[in-house]
Amino acid sequence: MPQMRVLLADDHPIVLMGVREIIERDPRFKVVGEAMSSSELIAKVSQLSPDVIITDYNMPGDEQYGDGTRLVEYLRRHFPEPRVLILTVISNPQILTWLYELGISGVISKNAGLEQILVALDAFYREGHYQLDPLEGDTSADTDEISQRLSQLSVKEFEVLRLFASGLSVSEVAQSLNRSIKTISTLKISSMRKLNVDSDQALLILCIKANLFA
Domain count within the chain:
2
Specify whether 92 is located in the same domain as 185. no
Domain that holds residue 162: 143-209
Query: Sheet holding 83-88: strands in order across?
Result: 29-35, 4-9, 52-56, 83-88, 106-109
pLDDT at 127: 67
Specify whether 71 is located in the same domain as 127. yes
Specify whether 35 is located in the same domain as 127. yes
Q: What is the CATH number of the domain that holds 198?
A: 1.10.10.10
Specify whether 120 is located in the same domain as 14. yes
Per-residue pLDDT for the chain (214 aa), expressed as one digit of tens each? 689 999 999 989 988 998 999 998 899 999 999 999 999 999 999 999 999 999 998 887 667 787 888 889 899 999 999 999 999 877 667 678 888 888 899 888 877 777 888 888 988 888 666 665 544 444 444 556 777 787 888 888 887 887 887 778 899 889 888 899 999 999 999 999 999 988 888 888 887 777 665 4
Specify whether 106 is located in the same domain as 188. no
Specify whether 109 is located in the same domain as 153. no
**Is residue 105, in this structure, part of any structural domain at all?**
yes
Last residue of one domain, picked from the residues 89, 118, 136: 136
Neighbours of 211 (CB within 10 A): 11
Q: What is the CATH number of the domain that holds 48?
A: 3.40.50.2300
User: Among residues 5, 8, 1, which one has the least CA distance to residue 50?
Assistant: 5
Q: Cβ neighbours of residue 69 under 8 Å, at least 6 residues apart? A: 95, 98, 99, 102
Q: What is the DSSP string of 4-49?
A: EEEEEE-S-HHHHHHHHHHHTTSTTEEEEEEESSHHHHHHHHHHH-
Backbone angles phi, psi at 49, to 5 degrees: 50, 60
**Is residue 214, in this structure, part of any structural domain at all?**
no
pLDDT at 159: 79
Last residue of one domain, picked from the residues 120, 136, 152: 136
* 3-state SS class at 214: coil
pLDDT at 141: 43
Specify whether 107 is located in the same domain as 72. yes
**Is residue 120, in this structure, part of any structural domain at all?**
yes
**Is residue 182, in this structure, part of any structural domain at all?**
yes
**Is residue 178, in this structure, part of any structural domain at all?**
yes
Specify whether 13 is located in the same domain as 114. yes
Specify whether 126 is located in the same domain as 152. no
Q: Compute the distance between CA of residue 66 and CA of residue 74 in angstroms, rounded to an integer.
A: 9
Q: Compute the distance between CA of residue 20 and CA of residue 93 in angstroms, rounded to an integer.
A: 28
Last residue of one domain, picked from the residues 109, 136, 163: 136
Specify whether 16 is located in the same domain as 103. yes
**Is residue 95, in this structure, part of any structural domain at all?**
yes
DSSP H helices, 137-210, are 143-150, 155-165, 170-177, 181-195, 200-209
Specify whether 85 is located in the same domain as 187. no
Specify whether 115 is located in the same domain as 198. no
pLDDT at 61: 65
Does residue 42 contact residue 65 with C-beta atoms inside 8 Å?
yes
Q: Cβ neighbours of residue 206 under 8 Å, at least 6 residues apart? A: 141, 146, 149, 195, 197
